[in-house]
Amino acid sequence: MFIQDPITEKMKPIMAQIADEIKKSSKIIIRYHNDADGITGALAIYLALKPKRILNYQNRGVTYEPSDALSDIRNLQYEEAPLIILTDFSTNSESREARQLIKKSGIPLIIIDHHPIEEQIKKEADIYLSPWEIGGDSFYTAGWMCCEIAKLLGLNTEKAEELSKIALTGDKSIHYDPEEKDKEKSIVLDYIGIYSKFPNTLEFYESVLNDRILFTSISSQAMEKLEEIARVADKFSSIKKINFSNREIKIVILQLDKIVKTFSFPSKSKATGAVFDKYNEDTPFVLIGYGQKLITIRSNLQAQEIGFGSDIIVKKIKENLSDLILSGGGHPGASAMKIQSNSAKIIVNEILKLS
């Protein structure tokens, strides 16, 4: 295994069970989150299964919608051994209805995710692989777990670990110190993930990683956009300080609509991450990016250690201002909320009151 510790040892039997279930299936649908972690995990399983029949769909958010669940049921209802795999999304409360539709259809469902648990997923998924279920955390990313399963399915170790490194880099896992090439690959996949709406996306992702000319072109374009976001961030941000658990926390508040265009790279989430990297320091620090209908949050390790992780912030705000929050979730380092239009300032002020 690329990561070796007691948590990964506990994962091994579940990973083997997932691999066995995949091998028995005649037709598979895999849905994945459209970032480097989700893409690499789905790509690893896809590559391991060629030429097995597998349909792949990219999910633009963290919610599994009932419309997608019904589409999956329609595509698999006459198969003798169907299977649905969801990775790097769908474990939030907003996905409950879709998960229940799959459960009632009788089609086996596997969920591979590393986000903190909001629901009792085990009763709706036939197999649920999550580090949180066995004492781990979000740093054991979904893409990495999928790559380990792909090895069991026959993907060669070199390719699986190449993809693992991108997955861990994309979600800033503490289990891997990335090289520049890993950072570049994760940014390129994020760039494509924002813009892609075409079929056979996993095939395209694979082709980009293997096409040096196209890869370099996309990388150059993506890096230029991220650098521009970081340059102009000062004009559209403010700094606040709050006391939490007897510690001072520095909070940067960023107006995302001023620097990010809708449906373009970087997404509001990735823009928040780029600005976070610019301001991050060795004391508790949080960045809050807000737009008309979205709030995205990043917390550094020092803030997480004192209980001010991004997921905790989202959980508390969902409890305090439930009428303004449409959906929300994530992990300690990065989380987001879809919100009622024009309620961002109310929510940001509520975050600043947390203690």
pLDDT per position as a tens digit, 74-120: 999 999 999 999 999 999 888 999 999 999 999 999 999 998 877 77
pLDDT digits (tens, 9 = 90+) for 4-40: 899 999 999 999 999 999 999 999 999 999 999 999 9
Among 65, 72, 119, 110, CA closest to 92: 119
Residue 121 is predicted with a pLDDT of 86
Please name which of 50, 56, 40, 39 lies closest in space to residue 147, comparing C-alpha atoms: 40
Residue 162 pLDDT: 97
Rounded Cα–Cα distance for residues 295 and 104 (Å):
34
Q: Which residues contact 271 (CB under 8 A, 6 or more apart)?
A: 229, 254, 256, 259, 260, 289
Please say if the pLDDT value at position 270 is more than 90. Answer: no
Task: Give me Rg for the CA atoms of the chain.
Answer: 20
- What is the average pLDDT across 211-239? 93
Which domains, ranges and CATH numbers included, belong to the chain?
A: 6-210 (3.90.1640.30), 232-353 (3.10.310)
Q: Is 282 or 199 the better-scoring residue by pLDDT?
A: 282
Q: Per the omega criterion (within 30 degrees of 0), is the bond before 51 cis?
A: yes
Q: Which of 100-109, 184-193, 203-212, 266-275 shows the lowest mean pLDDT across its residues? A: 266-275
- What is the structure's pLDDT at 245? 87
Tokens, residue 173? 């896992």
Q: Average of pLDDT values for 166-189? A: 94
Q: What is d(CA 233, CA 210) in angstroms, rounded to the nearest whole number?
A: 34
pLDDT of residue 261: 80
**For residue 24, is it left (φ>0), alpha (ψ between -120 and 50) or beta?**
alpha
Strands 247-255 and 334-339, by their bridges, are unpaired
197 pLDDT above the threshold of 90: no
The four Cα atoms 7, 12, 14, 18 give a dihedral, to 10 degrees, of 140
Q: What is the pLDDT, as a whole number, of residue 2? A: 74
pLDDT computed for residue 196 by the predictor: 65
DSSP letters spanning 325-340: EEEEEE-SSEEEEEE-
Distance CA(44)–CA(163), nearest Å, equals: 7
The pLDDT of residue 200 is 54
pLDDT-above-70 percentage for the chain:
97
pLDDT at 278 over 70: yes
Structure-token match 């989202």, residue found: 314
Picking from 132, 159, 160, the residue whose alpha carbon sits closest to that of residue 146 is 160
Q: Over 90: is that where the pLDDT of 330 sits?
A: no
Residue 152: pLDDT over 60:
yes
